[in-house]
Amino acid sequence: MTAVWTAERLLFEPAVPHEDAIATIFAFPNEYTIGITSLGYQVVWATLAMRPDLQVSRLFTDGHDPLPQQPELLGLSLSWELDYVNVLTLLESLDLPIWSRDRSAPAPLIFGGGPVLTANPEPFADFFDVILLGDGELLLGDFIDAYKAVRHADRATQLRHLAQVPGVYVPSLYAVTYHSADGEIQAIAPLDSDLPTQVQKQTYRGNTLSTSTVVTEKAAWENIYMVEVVRSCPEMCRFCLASYLTLPFRTPSLEASLIPAIDRGLQVTDRLGLLGASVTQHPEFTDLLTHLNRPQYDHVRLSIASVRTNTVTQHLAETLVKHDSRSITIAVESGSDRLRQIVNKKLQNDEIVEAAIHAKAGGLSSLKLYGMVGIPGEEPEDIEATVAMMRSLKRAAPGLRLTLGCSTFVPKAHTPFQWFGVNRQAEKRLKSLQKHLRPQGMEFRPESYNWSVIQALISRGDRRIAPLLERVRHYGDSLGSYRRAFKDLRGTLPDLDFYVHDHWRTDQVLPWQHIQGPLPVATLEKHLDSATALFPSAAISETRDAIAP
Ramachandran angles phi, psi of 289, nearest 5°: -60, -45
pLDDT of 325 strictly over 90: yes
**Interatomic CA distance for residues 364 and 376, integer angstroms:** 34
Question: How many helices, marked H, and strands, marked E, lie in the chain?
Answer: 21, 20
For 338-361, write each residue's pLDDT tens digit.
999 999 999 999 999 999 999 999
Q: Which ranges of 281-425 does DSSP label H, i.e. alpha helix? A: 285-292, 314-322, 337-342, 349-361, 380-396
Contact partners, residue 112, CB within 8 Å, separation at least 6 = 75, 76, 77, 78, 87, 121, 124, 128, 130, 131, 132
User: Lowest mean pLDDT: which of 360-374, 417-431, 468-482?
Assistant: 468-482
Element (H, E) at 76: strand 73-77
pLDDT of 463 strictly over 70: yes
User: Residue 146 pairs with which residues in a beta bridge?
Assistant: none
User: In the predicted model, what is the mean pLDDT of the chain?
Assistant: 95
Element (H, E) at 541: helix 537-547
The pLDDT value recorded for residue 413 is 97
DSSP 327: E
Compute the average pLDDT of residues 378-395: 97
DSSP 227: E
CB 7 within 8 A of CB 41: no
Query: pTM of this prediction?
Result: 0.95
For 26-71, write each residue's pLDDT tens digit.
999 999 999 999 999 999 999 999 999 999 999 999 999 999 999 9
Compute the average pLDDT of residues 163-190: 98
Compute the average pLDDT of residues 170-194: 97
For 98-125, write each residue's pLDDT tens digit.
999 999 989 999 999 999 999 999 999 9
By C-alpha distance, which of 6, 35, 125 is closest to 514? 125
Question: Cα dihedral sign for 350, 351, 352, 354?
Answer: positive
pLDDT of 3 strictly over 70: no
Residue 544 pLDDT class (50, 70, 90 cuts): low
Instruction: State how beta strands 185-190 and 443-446 pair.
Output: unpaired
Angle between helices 479-488 and 466-475 (to 10 degrees): 130
Compute the average pLDDT of residues 88-97: 96
**179: exposed, middle or buried (C-beta count within 10 Å: 0-12, 13-18, 19+)?**
exposed
- Is there a cis peptide before residue 115, judged by omega within 30 degrees of 0? no
Helix%, strand%, coil% for the chain, nearest 5:
40, 15, 40
Torsion of CA 84, 85, 91, 97, to 10 degrees: 90
The pLDDT value recorded for residue 4 is 67
**Interatomic CA distance for residues 253 and 282, integer angstroms:** 9
Ramachandran angles phi, psi of 197, nearest 5°: -70, -30
**Interatomic CA distance for residues 30 and 88, integer angstroms:** 12
The pLDDT value recorded for residue 546 is 75
